[in-house]
Amino acid sequence: MSAADWIAVRLTAELAALTTVLLLIVGTPIAWWLARTRSAGKPLVASLVAMPLVLPPSVLGFYLLLLMGPQGPVGRLTQALGLGLLPFTFAGLVLASVLYSLPFVVQPLQQAFEAIPEHALDAAATLRAGPWDRFVSVALPLARPGLLTASVLGFAHTVGEFGVVLMIGGNIPGATRVLSVAVYEHVEATEFDQAHRLAAGMVVFALLVLLTLYALNRRVRPGTAIGAAR
């Protein structure tokens, strides 16, 4: 592979790793709320979280461009803070990736939290454990298989993104040119050998991800299976 392709590999790994960390930080409280709440607003929140599963990436990318553009509310905020505009930057790719991969983290976590026996939390409450203690000491350890599944899915889905990252990041070498965009660029230039090497690597990566998930799912309850993120 060329030096530019290795840079794309590194950039993709950095994007996926940072996105996964942010997804766990943002997605865990959302999943906990969805698993525990009886609010009438739950279907709406769950639908908003799941929308990237059914929306074309180009549609999501288009509206993100509007929001983060110079006239959009996010764009105005970032400019007011002295951060400039997010489109066609690595930071913009991270934000778009978090939104696009959110259901792949929230849904497995939600089902893992829903599978926690109520009596386990009640027992902790009788020992005077507060809500935060019950969450950290009881819920998170019991939901560990769901956390692992969510982490693997979030990372893998970010690696495989194309439409959203192309619209938000474009194709800037060393800044926003990730693996999926590099494959597209090689195909467009009829450089099929280079495209094949990158594409084959992504196929192997996807297979390893699925094998890892199936191996994890053999050791957990039905509620935390791969189907939770479909």
Homologous superfamily (CATH) for 3-229? MetI-like (1.10.3720.10)
Radius of gyration over alpha carbons of the chain, in Å?
Answer: 20
The span from the CA of 34 to the CA of 110, in Å, is: 7
Tokens found for residue 21: 């960390």
Give the list of residues 6+ apart from residue 122 with CB closer than 8 angstroms, or none.
none
pLDDT in tens, the chain (230 residues): 788 889 989 999 999 999 999 999 999 999 999 998 889 999 999 999 999 999 999 899 999 999 999 999 999 999 999 889 999 999 999 999 999 999 999 999 999 999 888 877 878 777 777 788 888 888 888 888 889 889 989 998 999 888 899 999 888 888 999 999 999 898 988 889 999 889 998 899 888 888 887 877 676 544 444 344 44
The domain locations on the chain are: 3-229
Give the list of residues 6+ apart from residue 68 with CB closer than 8 angstroms, or none.
74, 75, 78, 85, 86, 87, 92, 95, 168
Long-range contacts from 130-138, C-beta under 8 angstroms, 24+ separation = 135/32
Tokens found for residue 132: 């935060």
